[in-house]
């Protein structure tokens, strides 16, 4: 097994059969010990965070697979905190796709002149470049096409999948009285037909969820939801 990438919250290994093994770590993103799903630094380490993130990820990817939504998921081993996935090729050097139901986080920091905190948003989709050095800048559909990162046809597929998947997560959380404010996904191309599939994870670290108007911490989310 060969270590191919050391991420902030996961390590990526290549298995002898070509599949990837994602090792979930107890590191979470944030600043100065405070969790922030949008942050580009490891802010704190929480015992059990990796396993909690994997449990949620396993749950959601299995629901998505049941619904026929294409993902990289093969299986997960909770005890080992690992997930086996199909290898994917990301768009450009990697994109994040965000779906927003309420105005918080970077949306509010950017558009605060026009939006109020917590204002309802209609599954608003935006794409950012994975570029830590430049603070993950948002990028438009036209710029993605012009820079050869994503064609307009692919953008539409990505946007549709994002809204569909976010809707499923939102409905699942709602069953437990939890409201999804925003969520971040990654996509890539897999297989010979280069199908666009959901990759990476779906955990508390990738979303903002609230219960009775109060923010639910990632670890708490796992306990509350599962
Ligand atoms: N199926 C897959 N094929 C290829 N790469 C994948 C797949 N699933 C996830 N990845 C990548 O594996 C890495 C997981 O590591 P981790 O989430 O810790 O990254 P990270 O440090 O958060 O960096 P980033 O800010 O780039 O997400 C990410 O770069 C993600 O894009
Ligand atoms: Mg990541």
Which ligand 1 atom is the nearest neighbour of the CA of 88?
Answer: 3
Tens digits of residue pLDDT in 17-66: 999 999 999 998 889 888 888 788 898 899 999 999 999 999 999 999 99
Crossing angle of helices 49-66 and 152-174, rounded to 10°: 110
pTM score of the predicted model: 0.95
Domain spans, the chain: 2-85, 89-225
- CATH of 2-85 among 3.40.50.300, 3.40.50.2030, 3.30.200.20, 2.40.160.40: 3.30.200.20
**Span from the CA of 24 to the centroid of ligand 1 (angstroms):** 11
CATH class belonging to 89-225: alpha beta
Tens digits of residue pLDDT in 117-163: 999 999 999 999 999 999 999 999 999 999 999 999 999 999 999 99
Which ligand 1 atom is the nearest neighbour of the CA of 186?
Answer: 31
Pocket of ligand 1 (CB under 6 A): 5, 7-10, 12, 20, 72, 85-88, 90, 94, 130, 186, 188, 199-200
The reply to whether 89-225 shares the fold of 2-85 is: no
Q: Which ligand is nearest to the CA of 136?
A: 1
């Amino acid at each position: 097994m060969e270590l191919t990438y050391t991420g902030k919250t996961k390590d990526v290994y290549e298995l002898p059969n070509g599949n990837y093994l994602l090792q979930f770590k107890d590191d979470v993103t944030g600043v100065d010990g405070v969790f922030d799903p949008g942050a580009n630094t490891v802010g704190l380490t929480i015992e059990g965070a990796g396993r909690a993130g994997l449990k949620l990820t396993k749950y959601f990817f299995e629901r998505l697979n049941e619904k026929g939504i294409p993902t990289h998921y093969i299986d997960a081993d909770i005890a080992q905190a690992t997930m086996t996935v199909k290898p994917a090729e990301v768009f450009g050097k990697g994109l994040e796709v965000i779906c927003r139901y309420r105005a918080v986080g970077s949306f509010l920091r950017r558009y605060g002149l026009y939006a109020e905190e917590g204002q309802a948003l209609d599954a608003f989709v935006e794409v950012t470049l994975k570029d830590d050095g430049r603070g993950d800048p948002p990028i438009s559909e036209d710029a993605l096409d012009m820079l050869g990162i994503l064609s307009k046809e692919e953008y539409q597929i990505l946007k549709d999948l994002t809204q569909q998947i976010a809707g499923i997560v939102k409905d699942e959380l709602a069953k437990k009285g939890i409201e999804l404010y925003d969520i971040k996904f990654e996509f890539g191309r897999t297989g010979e037909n280069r199908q666009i599939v959901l990759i990476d994870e779906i955990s508390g670290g990738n979303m903002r969820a609230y219960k009775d108007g109060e923010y639910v911490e990632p670890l708490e989310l796992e306990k509350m939801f599962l």
